[in-house]
Structure 1
Amino acid sequence: MSDGELAAYSLVELAVDRLRRDILSGRTDPGERLVEEQLTKRLGISRAPLREAMRLLAEQGLVEHIPRRGARVATLSDADVGELYEIRDILERHAVTSRPTGADLAGLRSALDVIRAATDQDDRLELANAHRRFHVEVVALSGNRQLTALYETVLVKIQLYMAVNMRREAEVARAEDGVLRHERLFAAVERGDATEILTALSAHGARTYLTR
Structure 2
Amino acid sequence: MSDEELETYSLVELAVDRLRRDILSGRSDPGERLVEEQLTRRLGISRAPLREAMRLLAQQGLVEHIPRRGARVATLSDEDVAELYEVRDVLERHAVAAMPAQPDLTGLRAALAVMRKATEADDRLELANAHRRFHTEVVRLGGNRQLADLYGSVLVRIQLYMAVNMRREAETARAEDGVVRHERLFAAVERGDSAGILKALGEHGARAYLA
Matches within 5 A, 1:1-212: 10-45=10-45, 47=47, 49-207=49-207
* Letter aligned with residue 118 of structure 1: A
Residue pair 1:165, 1:209 contacting (<8 A) in 2 also = no
Q: How many residues align?
A: 210
Q: Note the residue ranges of structure 2 that are not aligned, 5 or more in a row.
A: none
| Cα shift readout 1:111-164 (whole Å, capped 9, x = no counterpart) | 111111222233333323222221111122223444334323322333312434
Distance 1:47 1:63 in 2: 16
Shift of 1:177: 1.7
| Secondary structure of the structure 2 residue equivalent to 1:71 | strand
Structure 1 unaligned residues grouped into runs of 5+: none
Q: How far apart are the structure 1 equivalents of 2:7 and 2:98?
A: 51
Measured in 2, the distance between the counterparts of 1:102 and 1:209 equals 26
Query: In the TM superposition, what whole-angstrom CA distance separates every residue of 1:56-85 from its partner, at most 9, and x where no partner exists?
Result: 433443211212322101123221221111
Question: How far does the alpha carbon of each residue in 1:6-54 deviate from its partner, in whole angstroms, 9 at most, with x for none?
Answer: 6665544433321121112232222122233433443344555544433
Q: Compared with structure 1, are the counterparts of its residues 98 and 6 closer, same or farther at alpha carbon in structure 2 (3 Å cutoff)?
A: closer
Distance 1:119 1:203, change over 3 A: same
Task: Please give the TM-score of this superposition, normalised by the length of structure 2.
Answer: 0.81
Q: What is the rounded CA distance, in whole Å, between the counterparts of 1:69 and 1:3 in structure 2?
A: 34
Distance in 2 between residues matched to 1:100 and 1:39, nearest whole Å = 47
Deviates more, 1:158-167 or 1:27-36: 158-167
CA RMSD of aligned residues (A): 2.9
3-state DSSP of counterpart to 2:117: helix
Structure 1 residues 46 and 191: CA distance shift in structure 2, 3 A: same
Task: Provide the identity percentage.
Answer: 81
**In structure 2, how many angstroms separate the alpha carbons of the residues matched to 1:102 and 1:4?**
49
The 10-residue stretch of structure 1 (196-205 or 37-46) with the greater mean CA deviation from structure 2: 37-46
TM-score (normalised: structure 1): 0.81
Q: Between 48-57 and 58-67, report the one with greater CA deviation.
A: 48-57
